[in-house]
């Protein structure tokens, strides 16, 4: 074979291979939808299959299979939602590869049982392999404030889940990924001032991922516990509660951070049968001083602190935090102090879908006679919805107040 002939063959073969490089992995529109009316008919499906079969022994059936799936399970139509940013989001093929840019999104995916589809995450998810045993192993594409968009594209996802607002948000992602055939959906997947929205978001994500049953199962579980708590606290006297968090309260006698109407912890406290003493605050995160707290004389104090996820391994950690909280403040006569009702609670009680457990835990703190064990709720959430092992009997500290400490 001459050198020239060899060169010609190489060039020809390279030309043949190029479409595999430059063609997008999936074109817009339903596969097999020949007339482009977003309605896949039986005839169109059949033609798609026959066309694939004609390709010979090395079948490329991916699009025909997608068409079959859509015809049978999607009734021949694309799936659409309006995400929390207000943008219509439509998918034309089953989602197989997901990049998720928040831990709340990762938790939602895990609840839905779609973790096998995740190919890209942010570093927060990577840091918690206990909570996200599968998802945490995937490629890290950035942090909550910085994303490597080239890395996202390289992972070839067909869906990217981003928060609707914040430094990294869905609109930003949609702009960065324009032209790459990656569907962007903006969902918080955590509790906002519009409380029911978190459940709507879960249902919308479930629709895109074809996991409606899993979403319904979680929502039913949450409904059951919320109803139990609601019925129990209804008509009971609501204790006055001061809500704060570590860095906003420790070492301070003024400008102590609290939670006002519209914040997640405030909302959960109300659902748990408490009356936050900041009820007249004009912001979601008001600042108060130690004297004002003394004057309000709350019956219970709750400080969010410690780990973002889970619990403390030993009691001394939350005990130290409570000591630091009290240092420099003349709160010794507070009802909360006298009654040993100052609790250190991990941040995780407000985390996304884990808030069901948070409501029960707060209700138990505020109304100790409630006949629900928060540890059992935490166990159910972890085992049944996140499918991770609960540290049964390991005496992890779920909430600390000295005398009334909750453990696993």
Partner 1 sequence: MRRLPGGTANLRNSGLRCRAAVLMVLFFTLFIVNGPLTTVQGAGIEAVNRVAPASPEPGAEFVVTLQLGGELPLVVGITENLPAGFKFLSTSCEHFEVSGQRLLLAVINETEVRYTVKAPSSGAGTFSGTWADMLSEREGSIAPTAVNVGGTATGPVSPASSGTAAAPSAAPEVPGFEAVFTTLSLLVVTLLAVVALKGGRDT
Q: Which residues bind partner 1 (CB under 8 A)?
A: 1, 3, 6-7, 9-10, 13-14, 16-17, 20-21, 25, 42-43, 45-47, 49-50, 52-54, 58-61, 64-65, 67-69, 71-72, 96-97, 155-156
The C-alpha atoms of residue 225 and residue 334 are separated, in whole angstroms, by 31
Specify the DSSP class assigned to residue 143.
-
Smallest gap from Cβ 25 to partner 1, in A, equals 7
Q: How far is the CB of 191 from partner 1 (least distance, A)?
A: 34
Q: Least distance in Å: CB of 72 to partner 1?
A: 5
Q: Rounded to whole angstroms, how far apart are CA atoms 151 and 145? A: 15
CA separation for the pair 374, 359 (Å, rounded): 9
In the complex, the smallest distance separating the C-beta of residue 99 from partner 1, rounded to whole angstroms, is 12
The residue among 46 and 165 lying less far from partner 1, judged by its C-beta, is 46
- Nearest alpha carbon to residue 105 among 125, 90, 88, 123: 125
Tell me the closest approach of the beta carbon of residue 43 to partner 1, in angstroms. 7
- Is the CB of 27 or the CB of 308 nearer to partner 1? 27
Which 8-state DSSP code applies to residue 400? Answer: B
Residue 218 beta carbon to partner 1: minimum distance, rounded to whole angstroms:
24
Q: Which is nearer to partner 1, 140 or 155 (CB)?
A: 155
Beta carbon nearer to partner 1, 12 or 308: 12
Length of the chain: 408
Q: How far is the CB of 24 from partner 1 (least distance, A)?
A: 11
Q: Which two tokens stand for residue 56?
A: 């010979």
Structure tokens at 71: 């015809």
Closest CB to partner 1 among residues 15, 403 = 15
Give the residue with the Cβ less far from partner 1, 119 or 268: 119
Contact assessment for residue 297 and residue 334, using Cβ atoms and an 8 Å cutoff: yes
The CB-based long-range contact list for 63-70 (8 Å cut-off, 24+ gap) reads: 63/31, 63/32, 64/31, 64/32, 66/31, 66/32, 66/93, 66/94, 67/30, 67/31, 67/32, 67/40, 69/94, 70/30, 70/31, 70/40, 70/94
Q: Which is nearer to partner 1, 46 or 77 (CB)?
A: 46
Separation of CA 226 from chain center: 19
């Amino acid at each position: 074979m001459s050198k020239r002939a060899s060169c010609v063959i190489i060039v020809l073969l390279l030309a043949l291979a190029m479409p595999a490089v430059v063609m997008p992995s999936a074109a817009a529109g339903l596969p097999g939808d020949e007339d482009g009316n977003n309605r896949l008919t039986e005839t169109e499906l059949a033609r798609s299959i026959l066309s694939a079969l004609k390709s010979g022994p090395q079948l490329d059936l991916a699009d025909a299979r997608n068409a079959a799936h859509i015809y049978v399970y999607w009734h021949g139509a694309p799936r659409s939602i309006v995400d929390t940013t207000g943008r219509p989001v439509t998918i034309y093929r089953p989602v197989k590869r997901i990049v998720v840019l928040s831990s709340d999104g990762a938790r939602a995916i895990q609840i839905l049982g779609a973790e096998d589809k995740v190919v890209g995450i942010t570093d927060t998810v990577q840091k918690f392999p206990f909570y996200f045993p599968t998802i945490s192993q995937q490629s890290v594409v950035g942090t909550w404030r910085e994303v490597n968009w080239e890395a996202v594209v390289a992972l070839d996802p067909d869906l990217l889940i981003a928060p609707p607002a914040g430094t990294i948000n869905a609109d930003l992602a949609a702009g960065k990924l324009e032209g790459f055939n990656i569907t962007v959906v903006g969902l918080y997947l955590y509790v906002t001032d519009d409380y029911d929205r978190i459940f709507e978001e879960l249902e919308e994500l479930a629709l895109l991922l074809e996991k409606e049953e899993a979403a319904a199962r979680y929502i039913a579980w949450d409904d059951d516990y919320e109803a139990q708590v609601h019925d129990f606290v209804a008509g009971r006297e609501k204790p006055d509660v001061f809500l704060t968090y570590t860095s906003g309260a420790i070492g301070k006698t003024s400008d102590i951070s609290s939670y006002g109407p519209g914040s997640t912890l405030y909302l959960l406290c109300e659902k748990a049968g408490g009356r936050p003493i900041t009820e007249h605050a004009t912001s979601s995160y008001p600042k108060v001083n130690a004297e004002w707290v003394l004057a309000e004389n709350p019956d219970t104090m709750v400080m969010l602190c410690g780990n973002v996820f889970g619990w403390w391994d030993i009691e001394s950690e939350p005990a130290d935090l409570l000591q630091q909280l009290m240092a420099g403040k003349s709160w010794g006569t507070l009802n909360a102090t006298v009654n040993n009702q100052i609790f250190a609670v991990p941040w995780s009680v407000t985390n996304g879908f884990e808030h069901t457990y948070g409501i029960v835990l707060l209700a138990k703190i505020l109304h100790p006679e409630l006949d629900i064990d928060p540890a059992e709720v935490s166990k159910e959430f972890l085992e049944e919805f996140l499918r991770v092992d609960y540290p049964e009997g390991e005496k992890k500290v779920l909430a600390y107040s000295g005398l009334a400490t909750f453990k696993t």
